[in-house]
Amino acid sequence: MYGRNNIVYAPPLEGGHRIYPLYGGMYPRPRGPVGMLPPMGMSYRRGISGAVPGAVLGVESPYQTPGDKYGWAWGPRDRQPQPAPPSIHAPPPRSVQGPPRDFSPVQRKSNLNTRPSSMFLFGIILKEIVAALHRIYLNPKGNIYPVLNDVIGPSAYDLSGLVRGGQLGTREESVLIQELQYVVENLIYHITEIMPSTGVLGTHKKSAVFELIRSGKRFPDGYFWQVELERLQFSENGRTMNIGDAEAFLLLIGIFISRSMITTIMMKPVDYGLSNQALTEVAERNLRIVASTLLYLVRRVSASKSRDMMPMPTEIAKYLYSDDEMRHVYSRLSRTFNYAEGLLREWGTEYIRRLRQATYSSSRE
């Protein structure tokens, strides 16, 4: 209620305090009359100094008591009034600035030289793909690792008897051929099951596989075999050009099988985690036979209708069996090759279609 001379009398409350409205807040005051509201631009500081221009509610000072801190204008009832503290001015705001920047041409050139190249960054993307595939291939609870373990385990057959043909009896040779058929067909079948919608290998525009089959990419030096270079087109600065479906399929097969399986896990099994100890001679020969057979399949499916089968890459030929040494084996695996080639072509076509569709869908969004 307003009394004489605009003096406000607040109704009493329990505890001897009254509630006085102050800019939307409710603050307890002592009994008796209280002053008028402060003019606009002023506010009550929660201290003993009363209304001070520019004061901010909640700001603590060395003159405050616990009562001041929690909202009383003059503290509890039994506190005696004290003179106002000297005016405390807030320090001027400091401008936080970073160190001076040098925009000289020499400095800009130095910054450009320290930036990682696009080839280096794309090399990291390729390593991400290989690492993701190795996690799948070497997963003990997965479908691929048990097949590989059958080749190098203590009870594995010695497949080297198939090399150069005619050295084994008919029945023994049939057993070994069936074992090799089982290994190749199951490896290819489970590899072609890999087509996730998310992650590094996903069929979306931010995946590493999406970047793999795009034109304008600068692959690291030494990534391609010479026989692969002859089937791709490159610009003057070494970037891929005109990556169609056939070229994209070549890139997919090259990283899923040639690099993530043959030249890493099978040719360096201890280094890449297939085994944690040195392999036996039987296991080494078996991996060499399986690697040679898989590479023959890669060379076969990488050939377009207008071109012959890809020749043996000279870069890794010495680590594998030659076509002459494996001719008899390949002739016995004609059904396996037809089955595996059909799986790979169907898988590659669908994989590329989904990646291309991700490009078009992102452009419409």
Domains located in the chain, CATH noted:
4-69 (no CATH), 117-364 (1.10.506)
pLDDT at residue 303, as a whole number: 82
DSSP 99-154: PPP---HHHHHHHHHHSPPHHHHHHHHHHHHHHHHHHHHT-TTSSSHHHHHHHHST
pLDDT at residue 360, as a whole number: 74
Where is 42: in which H helix or E strand? Answer: strand 42-44
Per-residue pLDDT of the chain (365 residues; tens, 9 = 90+): 444 444 444 455 444 444 444 444 444 444 444 444 444 444 444 444 444 444 444 444 444 444 444 343 444 444 455 555 555 555 666 555 555 555 455 555 555 555 667 788 899 999 999 999 999 999 999 999 999 999 999 999 999 989 977 677 889 999 999 999 999 999 999 999 999 999 999 999 999 999 999 999 999 999 999 999 999 999 999 999 999 999 999 999 999 999 999 999 999 999 999 999 999 999 999 999 999 999 999 999 998 766 789 999 999 999 999 999 999 999 999 999 999 999 999 999 999 999 999 877 654 44
Structure tokens at 89: 């001015």
Structure tokens at 224: 């391609």
Close Cβ partners of 161 (under 8 Å, ≥ 6 residues apart): 167, 168, 172, 173, 176
Close Cβ partners of 361 (under 8 Å, ≥ 6 residues apart): none
Radius of gyration of the CA atoms of the chain, in A: 39
Structure tokens at 188: 């290819």
**Using CA atoms, how far apart are residues 341 and 345, in angstroms rounded to an integer?**
6
pLDDT at residue 89, as a whole number: 57
pLDDT at residue 66, as a whole number: 44
pLDDT at residue 57, as a whole number: 41
The 8-class DSSP code of residue 215 comes to S
pLDDT at residue 120, as a whole number: 86
Under 8 Å between Cβ of 260 and 126: no
φ/ψ of 53, rounded to 5, equals: -60, 130
pLDDT in tens, 283-330: 999 999 999 999 999 999 998 766 789 999 999 999 999 999 999 999
Structure tokens at 17: 């305090």
Under 8 Å between Cβ of 89 and 54: no
Under 8 Å between Cβ of 128 and 208: yes
Report field, pTM of the whole predicted structure over 0.75: no
pLDDT at residue 154, as a whole number: 93
pLDDT at residue 35, as a whole number: 45
Close Cβ partners of 303 (under 8 Å, ≥ 6 residues apart): 309, 310
User: Is 298 buried (19+), middle (13-18) or exposed (0-12) by CB count in 10 A?
Assistant: buried
